[in-house]
């Protein structure tokens, strides 16, 4: 059964979409079955995978509004090795149309339930705002990966995002949790970067991923070629960082699985 992660931040320009695309490619390179869901009407994640958002016959809009199945809409990315549920500007209309639909915040969750056995990981790229599309992503997810820059205003945005996650967990998705915090556009030469990073460790401890994603020109250039960074420049620091991040994700999941197994064994021994 797939582990579903929403990659989110209510602040734009923090590397959220870059993280979604490159983590999907890196996990696929590690032989994991991956579906990436683009929930942003800008369609940047879709374009970053080499799929032309202007040439889509169907998109995630059809899944949310017209009850199309994921298998009818998802597209392969070719050499990148994962599937994409693409998005374009049509998705803007979905937010309005969903207001009058039953179980409007669960539309994505219900659709993904039909394919969760087909994938190991499903990654949802949420838009940089709190709206019905983001809510659908959070309700569908098991956990949230927060991509953030180590700067002052990012901390304020983080506080708002955590409040949102807590509200969703209290109301519509009790299993939702913060999976981890990924530091992006990281420059260790900047004193503010180091200060904010220290504050994150102090407040969130192990929730902060060990991997950091550096500022990297190759990461910024890759989307214009329609490929993840590892297929644009495999040896770039950005591509290397996301491969390391994928490895960390997999190790964390294995540790959690073992811990759950140990708990079950302890409970069964008491019975």
Summarize pLDDT for 136-189 with one digit per residue, the tens.
Answer: 999 999 999 999 988 877 777 788 889 999 999 999 999 999 999 999 999 888
pLDDT at 34: 98
Q: Which residues of 21-51 are buried (b: 16+ CB within 10 A; e: fewer)?
A: bbbbbbbbbeebbbbbbbbbbbbbbbbbbbb
Q: Which residues are CB-contacts of 202 (< 8 A; sequence separation ≥ 6)? A: none
**Rounded mean pLDDT, 207-235:** 94
Task: Give me the chain's average pLDDT, please.
Answer: 92
Q: Is the pLDDT of residue 268 over 80?
A: no
pLDDT in tens, 78-133: 889 999 999 999 999 888 888 888 889 999 999 999 999 999 999 999 998 888 99
pLDDT in tens, 239-265: 999 999 999 999 999 888 888 887 777
pLDDT at 12: 78
**Sorting pLDDT into bands at 50, 70 and 90, what band is 41?**
very high
| Domains and their CATH numbers in the chain | 3-270 (3.40.50.300)
Nearest C-alpha neighbor of 124 from the set 93, 168, 175, 84: 84
Cα 90 to Cα 238: distance, rounded to the nearest angstrom: 31
pLDDT at 50: 93
List Cα–Cα distances, 65 to 52, 90, 141, 189, 252, in angstroms: 21, 11, 19, 47, 35
**Rounded mean pLDDT, 227-244:** 96
Task: Give the count of beta carbons closer than 10 Å to the beta carbon of residue 120.
Answer: 18
pLDDT at 80: 92
CA dihedral for 37, 43, 46, 52, sign (positive or negative): positive
Contact 55, 89 (CB under 8 A): no
Q: Which residues are CB-contacts of 139 (< 8 A; sequence separation ≥ 6)? A: 105, 106, 108, 109, 168, 172, 173, 176
pLDDT at 151: 82
Contact 83, 50 (CB under 8 A): no
**Sorting pLDDT into bands at 50, 70 and 90, what band is 271?**
low
Largest interatomic CA distance in the chain:
59
Contact 19, 126 (CB under 8 A): no
């Amino acid at each position: 059964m797939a582990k579903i992660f929403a990659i989110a931040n209510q602040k734009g320009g923090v590397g959220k979409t870059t993280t979604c695309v490159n983590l999907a490619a890196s996990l696929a390179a590690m032989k994991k079955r991956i579906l990436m869901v683009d929930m942003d009407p800008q369609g940047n994640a879709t374009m970053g995978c080499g799929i032309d958002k202007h040439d889509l016959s169907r998109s995630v809009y059809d899944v949310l509004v017209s009850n199309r199945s994921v298998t009818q809409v998802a597209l392969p990315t070719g050499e990148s090795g994962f599937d994409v549920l693409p998005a374009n500007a049509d998705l803007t209309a979905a937010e309005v149309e969903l207001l009058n639909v039953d179980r409007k915040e669960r539309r994505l969750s219900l659709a993904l339930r039909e394919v969760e056995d087909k994938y190991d990981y499903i990654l949802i790229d949420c838009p940089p705002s709190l709206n019905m599309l983001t809510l659908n992503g959070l309700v569908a997810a098991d956990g949230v990966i927060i991509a953030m820059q180590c700067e002052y205003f990012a901390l304020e945005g983080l506080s708002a995002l955590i409040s949102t996650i807590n509200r969703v967990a209290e109301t519509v998705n009790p299993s939702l949790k913060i999976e981890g915090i990924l530091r992006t556009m990281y420059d260790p030469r900047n004193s503010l970067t180091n200060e904010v990073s220290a504050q994150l460790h102090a407040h969130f401890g192990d929730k902060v991923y060990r991997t950091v994603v550096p500022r990297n020109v190759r990461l910024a250039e890759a989307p214009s070629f329609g490929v993840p960074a590892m297929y644009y420049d495999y040896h770039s620091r950005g591509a290397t960082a996301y491969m390391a991040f994928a490895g960390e994700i997999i190790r964390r999941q294995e540790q959690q699985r073992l811990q759950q197994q140990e708990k079950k064994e302890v409970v069964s021994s008491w019975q």
